[in-house]
């Protein structure tokens, strides 16, 4: 029986910025339905990997395939059309708009009605607008954000704004969503509910998640598979428990002295 192909496959990916090697000969496979987490110290090349997948950075060598389609010849919009969504470390939300308006704006490419139809009180424009609003409200409900729909983004706490960024990526119903530090700025008590939401919409929508995350409690709560990068190279991979018990990983993360004191044990055992 043939093994199904991975949803995303990266082979030999290498990225240079001038004389700096940001990613070096990375091989990585993300399976359909996984929550796959990239971890590593600052500057390890994690965001560069996401930028290569979404088309913001072009590697000097290697390949990236999504459902068997080679992505490197394709522009960013074509990759998005294939079903790849993205959030960023900096929110890139329209802060003067409401939450609902942000999600509607994200869907503008889906609205195909012409200008004339748009000014008429009937026809496909009204149907598409109603559909877009339905998608938006359903997505907000999935993340527990329905009560924020008509509030201006600038008035919301930072943690809620991070969730709005996730909702805006999800509203297009991607097959794969790339999340760059989605829990950054969340208070500690909100990490567990946020982890439950990530797993919930993965299970409900069947979406695959590839995320960068520094919060190890979130990583342990959500990750099906973890890949550790250090100076652009793969250091280790496996389950969260396996990776966070690896002395080489603990040394890269916490330093040799911290490893000797056993400070990584709380990650591996909690």
Domains of the chain in start order, with CATH, are: 1-83+178-270 (3.40.50.300), 93-173 (no CATH)
Task: Tell me if 252 sits within 8 A of 228, measured CB to CB.
Answer: yes
201-228 as b/e, with b when 16 or more CB fall inside 10 Å? bbeeeebbbbbbbebbbbbbbbbbbbbb
SS3 3: coil
Range with top average pLDDT, 37-51, 85-99, 150-164, 177-191? 37-51
What mean pLDDT do residues 92-97 have?
Answer: 86
Task: Tell me if 159 sits within 8 A of 192, measured CB to CB.
Answer: no
pLDDT score of 125: 57
pLDDT score of 264: 45
212-230 pLDDT, tens digit each: 988 888 899 999 999 999 9
Q: Is the pTM of this model over 0.85?
A: no
146-161 pLDDT, tens digit each: 999 999 999 998 878 8
Task: Tell me if 204 sits within 8 A of 19, measured CB to CB.
Answer: no
């Amino acid at each position: 029986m043939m093994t199904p192909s991975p949803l995303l496959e990266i082979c030999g990916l290498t990225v240079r910025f001038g004389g700096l090697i940001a990613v070096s000969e990375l091989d990585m496979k993300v399976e359909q339905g996984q929550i796959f987490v990239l971890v590593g110290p600052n500057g390890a090349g994690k965001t560069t990997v996401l930028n290569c997948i979404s088309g913001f950075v072009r590697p000097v060598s290697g390949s990236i395939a999504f459902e068997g389609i080679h992505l490197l010849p394709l522009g960013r919009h074509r990759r998005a059309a294939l079903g790849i969504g993205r959030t960023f470390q900096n929110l890139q939300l329209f802060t003067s708009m409401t939450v609902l308006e942000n999600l509607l704006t994200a869907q503008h490419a889906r609205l195909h009605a012409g200008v004339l139809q748009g000014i008429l009180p009937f026809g496909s424009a009204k149907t598409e607008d109603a559909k877009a609003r339905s998608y938006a409200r359903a997505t907000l409900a999935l993340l527990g954000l329905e009560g924020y729909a008509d509030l201006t983004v600038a008035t919301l706490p930072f943690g809620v704004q991070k969730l709005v960024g996730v909702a805006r990526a999800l509203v297009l119903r991607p097959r794969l969503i790339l999340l760059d530090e989605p829990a950054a700025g969340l208070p500690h008590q909100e990490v567990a509910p946020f982890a439950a939401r990530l797993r919930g919409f993965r299970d409900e929508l069947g979406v695959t998640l590839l995320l960068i995350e520094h919060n190890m409690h979130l990583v342990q709560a959500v990750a099906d598979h973890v890949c550790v990068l250090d100076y652009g190279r793969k250091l280790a991979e496996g389950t969260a428990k396996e990776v966070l018990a690896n002395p080489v990983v603990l040394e890269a993360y916490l330093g040799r002295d911290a490893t000797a004191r056993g400070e990584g044990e709380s990650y591996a055992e909690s």
